[in-house]
Chains A and B, each alone.
Chain A
Amino acid sequence: MPAAAALSPTDAPREPVYQLSHVSKTYARNAVTALDDVNLTLRKGSFSSVIGSSGCGKSTLLKIMSGMISPTKGRVMLQDKPVMGPRRDIGMMFQQATLFPWRTTLENIVLPIEIRDGKKAAKAAEAQARALMELVGLKGFEDTYANELSGGMAQRASICRMLITEPAVLLLDEPFSALDELSRDFMNMELQRICTSRDATAFLVTHSIPEAVILSDVVYVMKPRPGRVAEVVEIDLPRPRTLDMMTTPKFGALVEHIRSSLDKEAFV
């Protein structure tokens, strides 16, 4: 994998794609500070994760980053342009595949194109969709209706749907947490492979420390009340990562470090 070298931490830092500076969010209704002075930088081709207990502001952060809500303070810049609403250079993926059962897999994948540029453009994007399906290992399921796909296959399709618009950043909201553990590990490795081959910039929200460590270059540890980034942990495990690495002492130490950092306040 030639692109893997680009992810190596020994290289000079690559250009930032997504930057949040001093971002805060206060919900006026109950005067709750959901996010307090969050700073983060996603560099081109990097994989970052955010981890924290519920109420730490993860979903607020993701909503701000996807242009669904506005911050009350701070700057949100994607590719040097402020994020002020949904943008086509943002790709999203959820815990549920959210495929539409009345559409075939192929039709589901080109849906973002259909919404933005109409049916004709969607038709034209089908070749690209087929290529993506081959990349994620869904070849042959083009005309299968979405409800006939298994959980893992549905998530592969939703990866394709996310990638079809060639977004500058991928926002992943616990994408595989609804899958069983075996499929989850496997899909995480697939995700790494896909991200590497596309040189994608990814941002993952997760509840699982091992998942965050095995996938990421940087892990943001968030804490609640008010929601803030408490620690930024660099993961300097070599690329490409493999599941075997999860048994190494280094991996264990990183997981332990994050766990103890979280434990200090998680159950207050």
Chain B
Amino acid sequence: MTLENITDTASEHEGDTVWSEGGGWLDLVPRWAQMLFVFVVFVALWDVVTRFGFVSPIILPSPMETLLDLIFVGKNIFTGGYMLGALWITLQEVFYGFLLALFIGVGLGVIVGETAFGERAIMPYLVAIDTMPKVAFAPLFVAWLGFDIDSKVALAAFIATFPIVVGTAAGLHAADTNSRYLFKTMGATRLQTLLKLKLPMALPQMFTGLKIASVGVMAGAITGEFLGGGKGLGELIRTAASQLNTPRVFSLILYLSIVGLMLFAFVSWVQRRFVFWHKERVHADGE
């Protein structure tokens, strides 16, 4: 609702039954301002807690300290310091982990979603493995693949694969009876039905899986570094924490979250490009 709609309620003729439909003043405040408000309150509370010594600076640094460290880390990264190297390592882990998860996840998802055997015989095992705490496998990956980036890629991919499998398998069932009927009457082969009907229909759910995976792949890479060493940002966080350098931990987490956010945003962008038809359809149905 715009400002114009609300103020434009003055009666033009005597006896008009024009009345306010309500709608709070908050509807008039733009979203960014509301978000900014929450941020300011949060930082103010944080500042109060640290300024008046409610919490030791070792446990919680002040906002200003954190900001200064944020700038320091940023400078180091953008001037090609050692932190850029660490960032690059983590980015590689995330990239290869995601790629691996994508191939394995879609492949397994098609097998599980398309074949009766896969659904009956393979899916139960996938569900069983999915319920396990997957980070507990980290030491195994280190033992198998060493302290280099391979073990982190493996853990990241391991965590990210399952949502993609589930999204793909579930999505392959999205095609309605009529569409399948139509494809049958057109004499479509199984492969044609998969490629021209089921996979396109599955895309919305596959992308839901990919988004969950894009969050999981970050967690996997960082956990891998925590538990298996390496030279990435996770290792820097672990070192900083062991030195009680809390501002550094905070600022590294922030840069890490930017990486995660960028990956998520990238997946969303690809989704909008390829599944442009889905949102519009929901909109049309909702009318």
B178 and A67 within 8 A (CB): no
Total residue contacts A-B, CB cutoff 8 A: 58
Q: Is B281's beta carbon under 8 Å from chain A?
A: yes
Q: Which of A211-228 contact B (CB under 8 A)?
A: none
Chain A count of residues within 8 A CB distance of the other chain: 25
A-side contacts of B280, CB under 8 Å: 101, 145, 147-148
**Which residue of chain B is the closest to A112 with respect to CB atoms?**
B186
Find out whether the CB atom of A67 lies under 8 angstroms from the CB atom of B278: no
Nearest-neighbour CB distance to chain A for B170, whole angstroms, equals: 19
Q: Which of A68, A95, A96, A145 contacts B184 (CB 8 A)?
A: A68
Closest to A165 in B: B186
* Cross-chain contact B186 with A101 (CB below 8 angstroms): no
A111 in contact (CB, < 8 A): yes
> Which of these binds chain A: B34-42, B63-71, B192-200, B225-233?
B192-200
Docked Cα-Cα span, A67 to B184, in Å, equals 9
Contact of B181 among A94, A102, A111 (CB under 8 A): A94
Max chain A C-beta neighbours (<10 A), residue from B176, B178, B179, B185: B185
A92-B182, A100-B197 known; A115 vs B281 contact (CB < 8 Å): no
B186 A66 Cβ-Cβ under 8 A:
no
Chain A residues with Cβ below 8 Å from B192 are: 115
Please tell me if the beta carbons of B178 and A98 are within 8 angstroms of each other in the complex: yes
Which one of B188, B197, B200, B284 contacts A147 once the chains associate, using CB atoms below 8 Å? B284
* Chain B, range 90-139, C-beta contacts under 8 Å to A: none
User: A22 to chain B: which residues have CB within 8 Å?
Assistant: none
B277 within 8 A of A: yes
- List residues 58-89 of chain A with CB under 8 A from any CB of chain B: 66-68, 85-88
Contacts of A95 in B (CB 8 A): 178
Give CA–CA (A237, B240) in the complex, Å: 90
Cβ-defined contact, A116 with B284, below 8 A: no
Give the distance in Å from the alpha carbon of A101 to the alpha carbon of B274 in the complex: 12
Determine which of B178, B183, B187, B200 lies in contact with A96 in the assembled complex, contact meaning CB atoms within 8 Å.
B178
Chain B contacts for A90, CB-based, 8 A: 185
Q: Are A94 and B182 in contact (CB under 8 A)?
A: yes
- Which chain A residues lie closer than 8 Å to B182 at the CB level? 92, 94, 98
* A68 CA to B182 CA, complexed, in Å: 10
The answer to whether A147 touches B196, judged by C-beta atoms less than 8 angstroms apart, is no
Residue-wise interface mask of B (212-231) relative to A, using a CB-CB cutoff of 8 A (1 in contact, 0 not):
00000000000000000000
Chain B interfacial residues counted at CB < 8 A: 22
Question: Closest approach, in angstroms, between the C-beta of B48 and any C-beta of chain A?
Answer: 52
List A contacts of B185 (CB < 8 A). 66-68, 86, 90, 92
Could you say which residues of chain B place their CB within 8 Å of the CB of A100?
179, 197, 200
Establish whether residues A98 and B186, one from each chain, have CB atoms under 8 Å apart when the complex forms: no
Contacts of B183 in A (CB 8 A): 115
Given the interface pairs A98-B179, A102-B200, the reply to whether A86 lies near B184 with Cβ below 8 Å is yes
Are the CB atoms of B186 and A147 closer together than 8 Å? no
CB distance from A125 to the nearest CB of B (A): 13
Nearest-CB residue, chain B, relative to A92: B185
Shortest beta-carbon distance from B49 to chain A in Å: 52
User: Does B281 lie within 8 Å of A101, measured CB to CB?
Assistant: yes
| Chain A residues in 8 Å Cβ range of B186 | 86, 111-112, 115-116
Closest to A145 in B: B277
| Residues of A close to B276: CB separation below 8 A | 102
How far apart are the CA atoms of A101 and B279 in the complex, in Å? 11
Residues of chain B with a CB closer than 8 A to A101's CB: 277-278, 280-281
Known contacts: A68-B184, A86-B187, A115-B192. The answer to whether A102 contacts B178 by CB under 8 A is: no
| Contact, CB under 8 Å: A115 / B184 | no
Closest to B279 in A: A147
Tell me whether A115 and B181 are in contact in the complex, defined as CB-CB below 8 angstroms, given that A102-B277, A147-B284 are known contacts: no
Q: What residues on A are CB-neighbors of B179 within 8 Å?
A: 98, 100
Most buried by A among B187, B192, B196: B187
Q: By the criterion CB–CB under 8 Å, are B181 and A68 in contact?
A: yes
CA separation between A85 and B185, bound complex, in Å? 8
Interface residues of B in 151-192 (CB under 8 A from A): 176, 178-179, 181-188, 192
- Least distance between B172 CB and chain A CB atoms (Å): 15
Q: Report the minimal beta-carbon distance from B105 to chain A, rounded to whole angstroms.
A: 21
> A171 CB to closest chain B CB, in angstroms?
9
Q: List the 8 shortest-distance A-B pairs measured between CB atoms, nearest first.
A: A101-B277, A147-B281, A86-B187, A98-B178, A115-B186, A115-B188, A112-B186, A102-B277
Q: List 19 A-B contacts (CB under 8 A).
A: A66-B185, A68-B184, A86-B185, A86-B187, A94-B178, A96-B176, A96-B178, A98-B176, A98-B182, A101-B280, A101-B281, A102-B200, A111-B186, A114-B196, A115-B188, A115-B192, A115-B196, A147-B280, A147-B281
If A86-B185, A102-B276, A145-B280 are given as contacts, then 16 extra A-B residue pairs at C-beta distance below 8 Å, sorted by A number, are A86-B187, A87-B187, A92-B185, A94-B181, A95-B178, A100-B197, A101-B277, A102-B200, A102-B275, A102-B277, A111-B196, A115-B186, A115-B187, A116-B186, A116-B187, A147-B281
